[in-house]
Amino acid sequence: MKMKRNILTVATLVVAFIFSGSSAVAQDFALWPVPDEAAAVENPVAPTKESLQSGKSLFDLQCKACHGESGKGDGLIKSADLTTPEFLAQTDGAIHYKIHQGRGVMPSFSTLPDEQLWDLVNYVRSLSMVRDSADLKDATVSIYFNDADGQRELTAKVEETNAEGQVVPVAGMKVNFAVKTHFEVGFLPIVAATDHYTNDNGTVTVAFDDTLIGDAKGVLHVVASIEDMDYAPAQVTEAVEWGKPNPEDYWTDRRALWKNNEYVPLWLLISFTVSALGIWLIIGYVALLARKIKLEGDRYENDVNT
Amino acid sequence: MKDQQHNSTKDSRRNFLKQSALLGAGVVAGAGVLASCNNEAAGSGEKIKLLTATGELVEVDPSQIKHVRKEKLTELQERGREGLAGHHWTWVIDLSKCKNARKCMDACVGAHELKPHQSHINVLQMQDSKSTAPYYMPTPCFHCDNPPCTKVCPVNATFKRSDGIVLIDNLRCIGCRFCIAACPYSARRFQWFEPDYTEEQKNRVYDVELNVPQKKGTITKCLMSADRLRIGKLPYCVSACPNGVYWFGDKLEDTVTNGTTHETVKFSELIRDNAGYTYFEDLGTKPQVYYLPPKNRTAPYEPVDKFQEKYQEDRG
Amino acid sequence: MSASVTNVTHPQASTFEQVREDLIMPLHKNTFANKMWIRFLIVIIILGTIAYVHQLITGLGVTAMRDYTAWGVYIANFVFWVAVSLIGSLISSILKLLHQNWSNPLSRIAELIALGAITMAAASIVIDMGRPDRLQNILIHGRIQSPIVWDFFVVNTYLVISIILLYLPLIPDIAILRDRMTDAPRWQRKMYHLLSLGWHGTKEQWRLLKRAMLIMILLILPVAFSIHTVTSWLFAVNSRAGWHSTIFGPYFVAGAFVAGSAAVIIAMYVFQRRHKLQQYITDRHFNMMNKLLVLTMLLYLYFNINEYLVPGYTWQRLDGAHLEELLLGHEAVLFWLTQILGLILPIILLLFRRMRKPLPSLIIAIFVLMGAWMKRMIIVIPTQLHPEFPIQNVPKHFLEYIPTYTEYIISAATLAGAMLIITLLVRVFPVVPIWEEAHDRGIHKIFKAEKTSNIHENEA
């Protein structure tokens, strides 16, 4: 249910685009005046891991399409590079103001809770800090299916190898559960709206959504992925026969006017064939009569000759 | 199936049959349109006597001659006529988000090698009546489940696949344009001129799922980017939208994915919670493109020239 | 023995020989005017062919048709030619079955027009195709569900039936020509000999021929109605304002009889004057044909009222837009000119006996025929400019349809083509059936084989 509300929020958010029509996209930030009082506002949210995490989720949803994964303005449309020194020279308050207000093609995000905007500011600021992927820790995630007591549950376990070479559980790791769709970018969240973090055993368990539709046999591909700024992305996909079978009843062998010749409606096939044949048989009969006229003429000429 | 039988016949015989088919064509045509319109009528049991290259006299049914004459479909054509099993593609267009950026049109024109005005998806400026609010509305082909266009096609050049996509095979299209007349959604375009191609571009193998290269004198239309769907990618236009207008997915799987944010939700819930609807349901076409109403448009609607300069170029 | 050629028809032809000589006379004379006329038609056809080759090379873009008005003059021509061709069935079949013997001398004119028109209808549809090189796909991949396949079937069938229906009543006449036209060129004599099917007018031959003619007269009726009904369905099966109408079939058939009758009146006038047939195509024929024209026009008017009043009363969204354009907007001048000059005024004028004389009726018929063609344009084109969704983001000229020279030249060539077919056929066949005319005049000689005839001498 909460997932739906989320969608609605998103839907209302992006509405706020203002199309400028011109190519005033690559803008000099000095030209976007920010009131002094707005620029002077202090960032109340510290750039903690949680804040950056939240900012990243928001950025991926709302900003990535245009500003690009790395914020360099290389997304679907030409947009501001968020990693330049000029951009970073601005105060947090100024960045917050611009996200809040929007201008031209840049939509206004004034409907987002203020705290989330500050998370976003924190994350945007962190974009320019090049993170070496070697610095990221590695963790593995695995899925367990449990349908005892008729209650279907999914459990993900996150583990890492510590300095001593031992495999130990990772606590407090955010785990996302989803099912794969046909599209490589399409992952349908199984449980949305709330975040799930691993407990001290490195596991997190969620109830399964029984309404999901799988393939013809009901096979679903469940994906569990971890999301943490200190860890390299990792995910695991497991097939499970927990989905509803794909109805596949859309395409039928029913005859229809819009289908190809193999599926001609019978009434049409019969009436067309019968009338076509009928007409041409009659024409054939008339041709036969003409031939008879000719034969009769030959006979008559023979008679006259002899 | 019948084609396969003939594939097994020897080449020489086939070549001969091909030549004699020209003779036979006269007979078939002369024997009337009977033969033309349905195979049942043609297989009337009468045989045509043919002398083979080796001097044998063989009897051939006229219908067999026809089959030999049947153009061999390329692999891409064969494949393109089969739908991706277990799918029924659907499209949800959120009118509240469309900002008239027209990135979808550009992507479409680029992918399908069209002139700007031929874009398979057309962003319209709509106003239902004088007192109602205007909005932007992208209109692709609606891939109807009771498609008027494939009904009227005389040669099965345009057809509906098992996954719901209405495609066009431009190696077969005769250019009668009946489908344009039949389509209530103005989704079809015609190649009135020879497309601007180099000789090399023109001679590429025709891909029915991309409808490239475009062919003079045939129809071109939205294909839901069938070539992209095959490799698990969202359509060109859907991926190009910066504003999150498009949700694309599968009705059978009941999921749709947003082309911009890649957010994935249940199709039925998206439609239910946002009052999704289709256009001209009363025509009985059962369109497969759904719209979400243009409510909560916070940004002002700014009308633009309906006949912009970039769409004015007619011939190549 | 060579035939003597006279220049004057017999004022009161009462013998078979007189009738025969009167009707054969035009076949002997290849006048300068006639030669020039044929050359003129050929020049137009050549120009049309050049224009068509240009269209083939450049693409259909040389026409004014575009993505919204995807059917234009060619389809209007097609509908027009199909309409005109229907007159063959009206005069040769319906009037014959109703024992309207006055129309007998006109039946061949009607059949000739039908043949010329249906040939050009078939040509028009090929001209309109984007890929005429793939015409065979209709044979290979034909879908029975498509009205185009139905149309393809009925047009070809009607073409064959038209030829047969022209040919069967010609057989006795061809036999006469075979015996009489001994001074004709060799190919012509050979053709007469072949086509006469050894006709000697024996009882058995007459029995067979009458039977064949009766069958064809009955068969052409459903086929003729189908051809124009199916043609109307090319439009009516589409959910479009102005097309999606249940009365389109009878509406088109009624309109077809109007166009065909007008075409016959024009042809009657021309043949009466050029072939000096005042004895055979008389004022009475003009009088009756014009009455028939009025009858069909009244029927057509009735369908017109239905076709425009009903949607005009509800004024639904697109119907309203379409009708507004037609009755008051862009197309209003064209629409009202067509309706008034091509339908309403002719009906009123033809109520007066004086207007049913040859010359006035010729002028009226020309207006009616032009109106018939304009009406097809009005049916085919404006509807397409009122789609469900607004027309946007296209070149501005997509909003209107003004035919190009190429289209006009090609259209003119189809007109020339139809006239050339008729002209060439009346060069070798009598335009009024000799045996039927003799029969109607009570000259029965022809119905018995001439035992004493010198057939074999003539053939030598």
Report chain B residues whose CB lies below 8 A from the CB of C63.
192
Look at residue B153 and give its three-state secondary structure.
coil
Domain count, chain B: 2
Ranked by mean pLDDT, the top range of A62-66, B82-86, B104-108 is B104-108
Domain end, chosen from B69, B96, B123, is at B69
Average pLDDT over residues A80-89: 86
Question: Is the pLDDT reported for residue A128 higher than 60?
Answer: yes
Q: Is C405 inside a domain boundary?
A: yes
Residue C168 DSSP class: T
For C242, C262, C263, C337, C346, the CA distances from C372, given in Å and listed in that order, are 17, 9, 10, 11, 12
Question: What is the separation, in whole angstroms, between the first and last Cα of chain A?
Answer: 106
Q: Is B212 inside a domain boundary?
A: yes
**CB contact at 8 A, B139 and C389:** yes
Whether residues B39 and B145 fall in one domain: no
Report chain C residues whose CB lies below 8 A from the CB of A277.
none
Q: Given this model, what pLDDT does residue C103 score?
A: 92
pLDDT of B72-82, one tens digit each? 567 888 888 88
Residue C127 sits in a domain of what CATH number? 1.20.1630.10
Domain end, chosen from B22, B51, B69, is at B69
Tell me, yes or no, if the two domains A2-130 and A134-240 fold the same way. Answer: no
All chains having 3 or more CB pairs closer than 8 angstroms to chain C: A, B
CA-nearest residue to B229 within chain A is A183
Phi, psi of C258 (to 5 degrees): -60, -50
Look at residue A273 and give its three-state secondary structure.
helix
Report chain B residues whose CB lies below 8 A from the CB of C132.
174
Q: Is B190 within 8 Å of C389 when comparing Cβ atoms?
A: no
Q: Given this model, what pLDDT does residue A31 score?
A: 77
Whether residues B45 and B129 fall in one domain: no
Q: Given this model, what pLDDT does residue A84 score?
A: 86
Taking the CA atoms of chain C, what radius of gyration do you get in angstroms? Answer: 23
Cα–Cα distance for residue pair A198/C359, rounded to 1 Å:
102
Average pLDDT over residues C153-157: 95
Q: Is C59 within 8 Å of B155 when comparing Cβ atoms?
A: no
Q: Is A273 within 8 Å of B242 when comparing Cβ atoms?
A: no
Q: Given this model, what pLDDT does residue A32 score?
A: 83
All chains having 3 or more CB pairs closer than 8 angstroms to chain A: B, C
Q: Based on the number of CB atoms within 10 Å of its own CB, is B24 exposed (0-12), middle (13-18) or buried (19 or more)? A: buried
Q: Is C106 inside a domain boundary?
A: yes
Q: What is the largest CA-CA distance in chain B?
A: 82
Report chain A residues whose CB lies below 8 A from the CB of C449.
300
Domain count, chain C: 1
Q: Is A247 within 8 Å of B252 when comparing Cβ atoms?
A: yes
Report chain C residues whose CB lies below 8 A from the CB of A257.
145
pLDDT of B191-205, one tens digit each? 999 999 999 999 999
Whether residues B57 and B85 fall in one domain: no
Report chain B residues whose CB lies below 8 A from the CB of A182.
84, 87, 229, 232, 249-250, 253
pLDDT of C187-202, one tens digit each? 999 999 999 999 998 8
Cα–Cα distance for residue pair B100/B102, rounded to 1 Å:
5
CA-nearest residue to C142 within chain B is B155
For A92, A131, A195, B98, B188, the CA distances from A120, given in Å and listed in that order, are 10, 18, 17, 24, 44
Q: Give B44-50 contacts, CB < 8 A, sequence gap 24+.
A: B48/B24, B50/B16, B50/B17, B50/B20, B50/B24
Question: Is the pLDDT reported for residue B19 higher than 70?
Answer: no
Q: Is C186 inside a domain boundary?
A: yes
* Nearest CA-CA partner of C429 in C148, C162, C109: C109
* Nearest CA-CA partner of C393 in C68, C19, C31, C41: C68
Whether residues B84 and B186 fall in one domain: yes
Question: Is the pLDDT reported for residue B53 higher than 90?
Answer: no
Domain that holds residue B43: 2-69
DSSP β-ladder status, B264-266 and B246-250: unpaired
CATH class of A134-240: mainly beta
CA distance A63 to chain B (A): 9
Of A283, A289, A300, nearest to C160 by CB-CB distance is A283
Assign C457 a pLDDT band (cuts: 50, 70, 90).
very low
Residue B129 DSSP class: S
Q: Is B242 within 8 Å of A248 when comparing Cβ atoms?
A: no
CA distance A59 to chain B (A): 10
Whether residues B177 and B237 fall in one domain: yes
A272 at the B interface (CB within 8 A)? yes
Whether residues B126 and B200 fall in one domain: yes
Q: Which of residues 79-118 of A touch B (CB under 8 A)?
A: 105, 107-108
Question: Is the pLDDT reported for residue B67 higher than 70?
Answer: no
Q: Is A182 within 8 Å of B229 when comparing Cβ atoms?
A: yes
Phi, psi of B57 (to 5 degrees): -95, 120
Q: Is C197 within 8 Å of A293 when comparing Cβ atoms?
A: yes
Whether residues B111 and B251 fall in one domain: yes
Average pLDDT over residues C91-101: 91
Domain spans of chain A, in order of start = 2-130, 134-240, 261-305
Of A64, A186, A213, nearest to B254 by CB-CB distance is A213
ipTM for the assembly: 0.90
Q: Is A286 within 8 Å of C150 when comparing Cβ atoms?
A: no
Cα–Cα distance for residue pair C195/C169, rounded to 1 Å:
12
Could you write out the DSSP letters of every residue in C42-68? HHHHHHHHHHHHHHHHH-GGGSS--SS
* Nearest CA-CA partner of C373 in C351, C342, C350, C419: C342
**β-bridge mates for residue A153, sequence order:** A146, A207
Q: Is C5 inside a domain boundary?
A: no
Question: Is the pLDDT reported for residue B16 higher than 70?
Answer: no
C223 at the A interface (CB within 8 A)? yes
CA angle C436-C437-C441, nearest 5°?
115
- Locate C287 and state its tokens: 């009088």
CA-nearest residue to B315 within chain C is C61
Average pLDDT over residues C212-220: 95
Taking the CA atoms of chain A, what radius of gyration do you get in angstroms? Answer: 35
Q: Is C220 inside a domain boundary?
A: yes
Across chain C, mean pLDDT equals 91
- For residues C173 and B3, the model is more confident at C173
Whether residues B167 and B275 fall in one domain: yes
In one letter, which amino acid is A165? G
Whether residues B115 and B160 fall in one domain: yes
Across B134-158, b (16+ Cβ under 10 Å) vs e yields ebbbbbbbbbbbebbbbbbbbbbbb
Cα–Cα distance for residue pair A98/B192, rounded to 1 Å:
48
- Among C197, C210, C227, which would you mutate to test the A interface (most chain A Cβ atoms within 10 Å of its Cβ)? C197
Q: Is A298 within 8 Å of C168 when comparing Cβ atoms?
A: no
Could you write out the DSSP letters of every residue in C238-298? S--TTT--TTHHHHHHHHHHHHHHHHHHHHHHHHHHHTT-TTTS-HHHHHHHHHHHHHHHH
Question: Is the pLDDT reported for residue B150 higher than 70?
Answer: yes
- For residues C246 and B10, the model is more confident at C246
Assign A65 a pLDDT band (cuts: 50, 70, 90).
confident
Q: Is A285 within 8 Å of C215 when comparing Cβ atoms?
A: yes
Domain that holds residue C234: 18-445
Q: Find tokens 């450049």 and name the residue.
A: C58
**CB contact at 8 A, A91 and A97:** no
- Locate A188 and state its tokens: 């349908």
Question: Is the pLDDT reported for residue B54 higher than 70?
Answer: no
CA-nearest residue to C459 within chain A is A301
Assign A76 a pLDDT band (cuts: 50, 70, 90).
confident
Q: Is B14 inside a domain boundary?
A: yes
Q: Which of residues 67-106 of C touch B (CB under 8 A)?
A: 67-68, 70-71
Question: Is the pLDDT reported for residue B12 higher than 50?
Answer: no
Report chain A residues whose CB lies below 8 A from the CB of B269.
4
CA distance B194 to chain C (A): 6
Question: Is the pLDDT reported for residue A233 higher than 80?
Answer: yes
Q: Is C230 inside a domain boundary?
A: yes
Whether residues B129 and B236 fall in one domain: yes
CA-nearest residue to B158 within chain C is C143
pLDDT of B204-260, one tens digit each? 999 999 999 999 999 999 999 999 999 999 999 999 998 889 999 999 999 999 999
* Nearest CA-CA partner of B269 in B236, B292, B245, B238: B292
The CATH number corresponding to A2-130 among 3.20.20.450, 3.30.720.210, 1.10.760.10, 3.50.30.10 equals 1.10.760.10
Whether residues B144 and B238 fall in one domain: yes
- Among C179, C192, C208, which would you mutate to test the A interface (most chain A Cβ atoms within 10 Å of its Cβ)? C208
Q: Is B124 within 8 Å of C390 when comparing Cβ atoms?
A: yes
Cα–Cα distance for residue pair B69/C75, rounded to 1 Å:
30
Q: Given this model, what pLDDT does residue A78 score?
A: 79
Evaluated on CA atoms C119, C124, C127, C128, the torsion sign reads negative
- Among C128, C156, C393, which would you mutate to test the B interface (most chain B Cβ atoms within 10 Å of its Cβ)? C393
Report chain C residues whose CB lies below 8 A from the CB of A254.
none
Q: Is B229 within 8 Å of A188 when comparing Cβ atoms?
A: no
Assign B25 a pLDDT band (cuts: 50, 70, 90).
very low
Q: Is B74 inside a domain boundary?
A: no
pLDDT of A166-199, one tens digit each? 899 998 888 999 999 999 999 999 876 677 889 9
CA angle B219-B220-B226, nearest 5°?
130
Q: Is C458 inside a domain boundary?
A: no
Q: Is B40 within 8 Å of A273 when comparing Cβ atoms?
A: yes
Size of chain B, expressed as the number of residues it contains: 316
For A59, A90, A117, A137, the CA distances from A94, given in Å and listed in that order, are 18, 6, 12, 34
Whether residues B86 and B59 fall in one domain: no
**CB contact at 8 A, C432 and C440:** no
Assign A296 a pLDDT band (cuts: 50, 70, 90).
very high
Q: Is C1 inside a domain boundary?
A: no
Assign A130 a pLDDT band (cuts: 50, 70, 90).
low
Average pLDDT over residues B296-315: 84
Q: Is A272 within 8 Å of C198 when comparing Cβ atoms?
A: no
CA-nearest residue to B308 within chain C is C393
Interface size between B and C, measured as CB pairs under 8 A:
192
DSSP β-ladder status, A234-240 and B122-126: unpaired
- Locate A220 and state its tokens: 């679903």
Average pLDDT over residues C97-110: 93
Q: Is A293 within 8 Å of C150 when comparing Cβ atoms?
A: no
